[in-house]
Amino acid sequence: MTSEMKIIAHIYNEYETKFGVPRQSGLVTAAVSRIVFAPEYRNPDALRGLEDFSHLWLIWEFSEAKRENWSPTVRPPRLGGNTRMGVFATRSPFRPNPIGLSCVKIERIEPQTADGPVIVVSGADLMNGTPIYDIKPYLPYADCHPEAKGGFAEAVQRKRLDVDCPLELLARIPEPHRAAVLEILAQDPRPSYQHDPERVYGMAYAGMDVRFRVDGERLTVTEIKRGD
């Protein structure tokens, strides 16, 4: 007999859509998220001892990528979206069970808020509102394997882009979000198979619509619209 998985928390941040969310955790360290527990799990005792750890594993749901059926192969963006690999050799969201695993850094723990104890983390690759099933401490002696192989993900490296954001547009980004926006853009949020230098892309983040073009290894911000 299997027991039902329970959502224990949700994560809240500025990633408003899937476009722009980092492809892996830890890539955009300037973006901060808040982990808010469901009411029945807002017991400070459940976090006792967590302050001694620096990182967490999050087990969560690909809530925006649910499908009725699954495929044994997928097209990893890392390979340009044209080569099929076995689903279990990838971190694709399209899996038999839509479960994600991410390692994030604990920035601080706020033990008493209106929402109960809250964990503030950086480096998350989860969209705003994503449900979390479990939280476990990262253990360096067991979880770190410097000799590990990265397979095709290691063989095909994506270069960071040089981001050109004119000062008048940079000024439209609230100072607390500037570093995160520039980090996200440098990671190249485009699908790997799109290379049209004339195409204008749009990324929603922190109430802003950030428009940009990419030519080779240079990304140029062309417009920033703010909701306010």
Same domain, 129 and 25: yes
- Determine which helix (DSSP H) or strand (DSSP E) holds 78, and give its type and residue range: none
- Is 45 within the bounds of a domain? yes
Same domain, 204 and 129: no
**Averaged pLDDT in 10-residue chunks for the chain of 228 residues:** 85 95 94 97 96 98 81 83 88 90 97 96 97 98 94 78 97 96 95 86 96 96 88
Same domain, 32 and 108: yes
- Is 3 within the bounds of a domain? no
CATH of the domain at 15: 2.40.30.70
- Is 50 within the bounds of a domain? yes
Collapse the DSSP code of 89 into the 3-class scheme (helix H, G, I; strand E, B; otherwise coil) and give the result.
helix
Contacts of 202 (CB under 8 A, 6+ apart): 19, 209, 210, 211
Return the structure tokens found at 191. Answer: 């699908």
Residue 152 region by backbone torsions, left for phi larger than 0, else alpha for psi between -120 and 50, else beta? alpha
- Is residue 30 within 8 A of residue 122, CB to CB? The reply is yes
Give me the pLDDT at residue 63, please.
83
Same domain, 24 and 111: yes
Give me the pLDDT at residue 159, please.
79
Q: How many domains are there within the chain? A: 2
Give me the pLDDT at residue 183, please.
97
E strands, the chain, where? 9-12, 32-37, 55-61, 73-74, 85-86, 99-110, 118-122, 131-137, 162-164, 201-205, 208-215, 218-226
Same domain, 46 and 118: yes
Same domain, 107 and 177: no
Give me the pLDDT at residue 124, please.
97
Give me the pLDDT at residue 191, please.
81
Single out the residue in 112, 143, 174 at which a domain terminates.
143
Provide the β-strand partners of residue 224. 210
Give me the pLDDT at residue 78, please.
74
Same domain, 117 and 171: no
Same domain, 173 and 221: yes
Q: What radius of gyration, in Å, describes the C-alpha atoms of the chain?
A: 19
Same domain, 16 and 46: yes
- Is 13 within the bounds of a domain? yes
What are the phi and psi torsion angles at 155 (to 5°)? Answer: -70, -30
- Is 89 within the bounds of a domain? no
- Is residue 205 within 8 A of residue 172, CB to CB? The reply is no
Same domain, 125 and 215: no
Single out the residue in 88, 110, 143 at which a domain terminates.
143
CATH of the domain at 210: 3.30.2310.20
Show the domain range for 113: 9-63+98-143
